[in-house]
Amino acid sequence: MYLTLFLTYIFVLVALALGGLLLFIFQRNRKQVLKTEDGWWGPGAPPDAQEDVSIHPFQIKTSAEELQDLYRRIDQTRPVLSLEDSQFNYGFNSQYLQEVVSYWRNDFDWKRQVEKLNQYQHFKTNIEGIDIHFLHVKPKRVPKETEVVPIIMVHGWPGSFYEFYGLIPLLCDPSERDNLVFEVICPSIPGYGFSEAPHKKGFDSVCAARIFHKLMKRLGFQQFYAHGGDWGWLVTTNMAQLEPKIVKGLHVNFAPPSKPGLSMVLSLLLGNRFPKLFGFNGVDIQRLYPCMEKQVVEPIKETGYMHIQATKPDTVGRALNDSPVGLAAYILEKFSTWTCNDFRNLEDGGLTRKFSLDDLLTNVMIYWTSGCITSSMRFYKENFAKGLYQPHSKMPVYVPTGFACFPKELMHTPKLWVKQKYHQLKSYTTMARGGHFAAMEEPQLMAEDIRTFTKMIEEK
């Protein structure tokens, strides 16, 4: 009898142990889904009436009064002298700024640029109490046996939907390389451009991701691809975490580590001596080392704006909203040093080496005419105010992912680090050239990588 009881006891213990092990394995392998709740970002309390889901055409307009006000403010600017031999190391060089302002005042044709902006169809729809602006561009021609693939592309700061204007035709027009054409949706993040700013505190990347999911559902898409850089990287990543079965594939060109792990720390400490151990190539070594200079000193040089915007955005925002010249200096300086940090050592900041003044000033004018600079900067405050380790930062992404690694990006992310976050990394492309504003700077390279990645996922 005692033997029977003993064997029964052992059997129960083994069964419990096996059950616990199986439960642990199941819980560990279960794909986490980011949770979120609907919000209300309009003024006051949400109305009792049912939400208006209508979509309205929208057109960008300008007026003589708008331009007269701009010119008056430009004419009243008070220039300051830059230090001798300072180039862009102290910020936007004042002497070169005068040249840019002179072109803006006398040669830049905003009316013509408005026509260019309106070449694609714009719309607005109200979601969670605020008007969401977006472009919806359908392919004009769909050859036989060609698949139409919907893709949402999300910008960052200090960019706008205009960053994608060179990329859109390369995606929407048929290509000889594949049998894909894209239907492109480019929304403005709430508080940016012509999307209404939230009226309440707390609107972060997860809120933007939830709203963009609602937008895509309102447009009738059951599944779609997503692309983003800068804040667009985080918003589209959150979209993949919220609805992994709806986001068919995620393509990003910016992916700073959200939570440094042991493998990342070890790779930084030992990667220079044992690169093969961590899969590092020559580009990784060049971009990561010397470690103190590349990972500490250089980021400090380029992140002063972030500390301001993540703490007191309204203070500097008020000044920039009043001064078009100040706004241009603040925004365009990023298009210099974030395109290539060596441009800091040039008198003109290398601005027109990669972009035209017309394109750069068009982006500035979107901020100026919409008066969105303060609300756009608040996005930093809302995201950082909740801490560095929000639930989404600790959660992997299980959606098939493609990463385009541009050599002059602000922060270099080796393949090892990307795979820690994106568990289904299907492509990691080392790009030939390009910096932070890659979609605007190198639309051809970006289009090719998006097409290659999408074709890979579609074939599978």
Name the region of 175 (left: φ>0; alpha: ψ -120 to 50; beta: rest): beta
Which amino acid, 150?
Answer: P
Contacts of 368 (CB under 8 A, 6+ apart): 70, 324, 327
- Paired strand residues for 251: 227, 402
Active site residue 380: yes
Q: Which of 165, 225, 380, 428 is catalytic?
A: 380
Helix 357-370, helix 373-384: angle, nearest 10: 80
Q: Is the peptide bond before 187 cis (omega within 30 degrees of 0)?
A: no
Give catalytic status of residue 204 as yes or no.
no
Q: Are 381 and 310 in contact (CB under 8 A)?
A: yes
> Catalytic residue among 230, 284, 359, 449, which?
230
Q: Are strands 224-228 and 247-252 parallel, antiparallel or unpaired?
A: parallel
Q: Let me know if 422 is a catalytic residue.
A: no
State whether residue 62 is helix, strand or coil: coil
Query: Which residue is associated with the tokens 């990645």?
Result: 453
Q: Of these residues, 96, 155, 436, 449, which one is catalytic? A: 436
Q: For the residues of 241-310, what is the DSSP string, one character each?
A: HH-TTTEEEEEES----SS--HHHHHHHHHTTT-GGGGT--HHHHHHH-SHHIIIIIHHHHH-HHHHHHT
| The token pair that represents 231 in the structure block | 């804040």
Whether the CA torsion 185, 191, 197, 202 is positive or negative: it is positive
Count the alpha carbons within 13 Å of 82 in the hemisphere toward its beta carbon: 17
| Residue in the block written with tokens 């109305």 | 47
Residue type, 389: Y
Instruction: Tell me how far apart the alpha carbons of residues 132 and 126 are, in angstroms, rounded to a whole number.
Output: 6
The DSSP code for 215 is H
Strand partners, 397: 422
| Residues involved in catalysis | 230, 380, 436
